[in-house]
Amino acid sequence: MNWTAIGAIATAMAAVATAIYVVFTYCLLKSMNKQVSHQRRSSEAELMQRLMARYDGLFAHNQRLRAFWDISGTDSPTIFGAAIANPETSPIAAQIRGLNDSRHEVSRFFVSIRKLVGAGYLPKDVLVASLERAAVEWFVERIDPLDRAKAPSKYSAADREYFAGLLARRFQTPQDQ
């Protein structure tokens, strides 16, 4: 028996087995990456649906605040701030608790979104796909001024700046497209 030939055949077979192993490993990695990507997209879709449902759940709060803005107009933050400061003498004393609760719920929704994005749990593209431009404008133009009026000394413009920047950078108006 020629041991050299047998060794060469065994080496060739080991090389083929190694090549097959490398190909299978590559296919496995490719399949795993595809599965991880699909799982990420599914998670993002679920998160997007949750955000949309949570915002839809704020409908009654948004309606109450919209009615207040419709009646009070541009003086809404001033009237709201005065009613919070002196609820017993306010002409809207009966409504102020409900208005403040609604303001708080809507504001917390946007604050939590900003914090989720900042912590890396919510990609900005999912946020933009979840909310319409009008919802973000509503927060920036109507809810945040009420936040500022409620507690001017404790007010931080971080949320307003974040969402105003998001409007400028990520949401396009029809004329921008």
Q: What is the pLDDT of residues 17-65, one digit of tens each?
A: 999 999 999 999 999 999 999 998 898 889 889 999 999 999 999 999 9
Residue 115 has pLDDT above 80, yes or no: yes
Calculate the average pLDDT of the chain.
Answer: 90
Instruction: Give the DSSP letter of residue 49.
Output: H
Residue 175 has pLDDT above 60, yes or no: no
Find out whether 84 and 150 touch, Cβ atoms under 8 Å: yes
Residue 143 has pLDDT above 60, yes or no: yes
* Closest-CA residue to 90 (of 98, 79, 101, 78): 79
pTM of the model: 0.77
> What pLDDT score was predicted for residue 177?
47
The Cα 124–Cα 166 span in angstroms is 9
- The alpha-helical segments, DSSP class H, found in the chain are 3-56, 59-72, 76-85, 93-118, 124-130, 133-138, 144-150, 158-169
Percent helix / strand / coil, the chain, rounded to 5 = 85, 0, 15
> What pLDDT score was predicted for residue 174?
52
Domain ranges of the chain: 1-40, 57-176
> What pLDDT score was predicted for residue 160?
93
